[in-house]
Structure 1
Amino acid sequence: MPFTLNNTPTRWHPMLLVGALAMPGLALAQAAPKPVPKAPVKVETLLKGLDHPWSLAFLPDNQGALITERSGNLRLWQAGKPLSAPVTGVPAVWVQDQAGLWDVRPAPDFAKSRRVYLSFAQKDDKGRPHAELGYGTLSQDGLHLENFKTIFIETPPLDGGINLGGRLIFDPQGNILMSLGDNNQRIAAQQLDSLRGKIIRLTPEGGIPQDNPFVKLPNARPEIWTYGNRNPQALAYNPWSGELWETEHGPRGGDEVNILKAGKNYGWPFATYGINYNGLPIPEAKGSHLDGMEDPLYYWRVSPAVSGMAFYNDSKFPQWKNSLFVGALKETTLIQLKVNDKKVLGEKRMLTDLGQRIREVQVGPDGYVYVLTDEKNGKLFKLSPK
Structure 2
Amino acid sequence: MLKSLQYQAGQLSDLLEDLQSTGASGSVWINAIVNSEQKPRLRVVFLNNGKIVYGGSKRVNNQELARRIGIKLSHDWANVAVGYAAQKLQNPSSFRELLEQIVRIRVFKWEEIETCIHTEFVQVLEQTLPYPGKLELDPTVEIDLSYGKDAHGLEWKKLIQDVAHRQHQWTALARVIPSMEAIPQLLPGWRTVKTSIAQQDLYKWVDGRRSLIDIAEQLDEDPLNLAQSYRSWVASNWITFGQHTPVVQTVSHVEEQRPVILSVDDSPVVQILIKRALGERYQVLFSDNALQALSLMNTNPIALLLLDVTMPDIDGLEFCRTVRSIAKFKNLPIIMVTARDKFSDKLRGQIAGTTHYLTKPFEPHHLLEVVGKFVGERRETLKTVSYKYNFR
TM-score for the superposition, normalised by structure 1: 0.24
Structure index of larger Rg? 2
Q: Structure 1 or 2: larger helix share?
A: 2
Q: Structure 1 or 2: larger strand share?
A: 1
